[in-house]
A = this chain, B = another copy of it.
Amino acid sequence: MVWRALFRGFIQVHILHHAREHPVYGSWLIDELARHGYTLSPGTLYPILHRMEEDGLLSSTHQVIDGKRRRYYTITSAGEQALKEARRQAIELAKEIVPAQDLGNCDTDTQEKQ
């Protein structure tokens, strides 16, 4: 699709969100993001994780679980900051482009027609 480019940032926000809830690793993220409608190959995801770590948004450690060697990523405080900012912008974006009722607003007086 032409509009893949629109969602590159969304992917990183999702990653930060998950990494805030619990440590995450690459191939789990691939599955999880696919569940959200973002299909991306390892060759796309791993460089993104590397850069996000390099930028100080994530930190990682090696672990062996069930005999599988994984690199678990956790959010850093800089990452939390970025996620906070992303939340602000996501609210902004959603409120601007999405009709109020689609966001779960039940104050029918303030609904806007489009």
- Give A contacts to B, CB under 8 Å: 2-3, 5-10, 12-14, 17, 36-37, 55-57, 78, 82-83, 85-98, 100, 102-107
Q: Which residues of B contact A105 (CB under 8 A)?
A: 103-106
6 sampled A-B residue pairs with Cβ under 8 A: A2-B78, A6-B86, A7-B86, A37-B92, A91-B102, A106-B107
Q: Which residues of B contact A6 (CB under 8 A)?
A: 9, 12-13, 82, 86
Chain A interface mostly: helix
Q: Which residues of B contact A78 (CB under 8 A)?
A: 2
Report which of B55, B83, B92, B103 forms a contact with A104, defined as CB distance below 8 A: B103
- Asked whether, in the complex, the Cβ of A10 is within 8 Å of the Cβ of B93, the reply is yes
- Asked whether, in the complex, the Cβ of B82 is within 8 Å of the Cβ of A87, the reply is no
- Asked whether, in the complex, the Cβ of A37 is within 8 Å of the Cβ of B89, the reply is yes
Considering the complex, give the chain B residue whose CB is closest to the CB of A101: B104
- Asked whether, in the complex, the Cβ of B14 is within 8 Å of the Cβ of A5, the reply is no
